Amino acid sequence: MPDADTQTRTKPAVLILLGPPGAGKGTQARMLQERFGLVQLSTGDLLRAAVKAETEAGKRAKAAMDSGGLVSDEIVLAILKDRMQEPDVARGVILDGFPRTTGQAEALDALLSEEGKTVAAAISIEVDDDAMVRRVSGRYTCANCGEGYHDEFKQPAKAGVCDKCGGTEFTRRADDNAETVKARLSAYHAQTAPLIAYYEARGVLERVDGMGSIDAIATELGDIVKQATA
């Protein structure tokens, strides 16, 4: 049975999670997906899948991803548009890690306006740079279901066993290393942080303190989502 939040949500909304690497976008997007039936759409996950499958786009994206730079708008937009064609997207989406440049934000607005839609809320999860480095360095993921964990901050209830699926294999991202993190952080400040002003000017920006606990942030985000989709 769908939970109460899924039943009371009225509009299939487009929501954006903004924030530097390690802010908790993926963690929170998964929780919102479960709670509200929104579809998590992570361009990072889509790009990693394309690299793994050695598609043409994946081959072109790999070098930028390995070095911690941004993949070109052209490649990212092509991958995102493809994904947006799939029927589940009609339930409403939570964009995780997209847009990351002003060009991507403008392209998203154009894409949505073709369908008479707009961004319901762009939520900026704000964490300081030191915390971000710690978050990224301790991050690992269940190889089976994708649930995210952390060496210090979010360990499975039973060591070595995924809480969600019972899987026992975990992976760490190749780009979650001290060297690449610096490049990712500067890409965030130079290219993505300006989107905060972009969405503020459109009256849809919400700021959330990303230094709180995972559950406290989830509660705050839940309230924002309910309000934005009422």
Q: How far is CA 167 from the centre of its chain?
A: 23
Closest distance between Zn ion and the C-beta of residue 51, in Å? Answer: 21
> Do 145 and 167 form a contact (C-beta atoms < 8 A)?
yes
- Closer by beta carbon to ligand ADP, 33 or else 43: 43
Residue 2 vs 135, nearer CB to ligand ADP = 135
Piece of the chain touching Zn ion by CB under 5 A; list 8-16, 17-25, 147-155, 178-186: 147-155
| Among the listed residues 13, 92, 98, 199, the single contact to ligand ADP using CB under 6 A | 98
For 214, other C-beta atoms within 10 Å of its C-beta total 14
* Binding string, residues 167-186; x marks residues near Zn ion by CB under 5 A: x-------------------
SS3 content of the chain, % helix, strand, coil (to 5): 50, 15, 35
Q: Please identify which residue in 96, 147, 176, 206 interacts with Zn ion, judged by CB under 5 A.
A: 147
DSSP count for the chain of H helices, then E strands: 10, 8
* 25 lies in the binding site for ligand ADP (CB under 6 A): yes
* Binding-residue pattern over the window 33 to 72 for ligand ADP, x denoting contact by CB under 6 A: ----------xx--x----------------xx--x-xx-
Query: Is 199 exposed, middle or buried (CB count within 10 Å of its CB: 0-12, 13-18, 19+)?
Result: buried
Helix or strand (DSSP H, E) at 208: strand 205-209
The interface with ligand ADP within residues 137-156 (CB under 6 A) comprises 138-139, 148-150, 153-154
Q: How far apart are CA 109 and CA 9, in angstroms?
A: 23
Q: Tell me which residues are annotated as active site.
A: 25, 100, 139, 173, 184
- Which positions lie near Zn ion, rule CB under 5 A? 142, 144-145, 147, 162, 164-165, 167
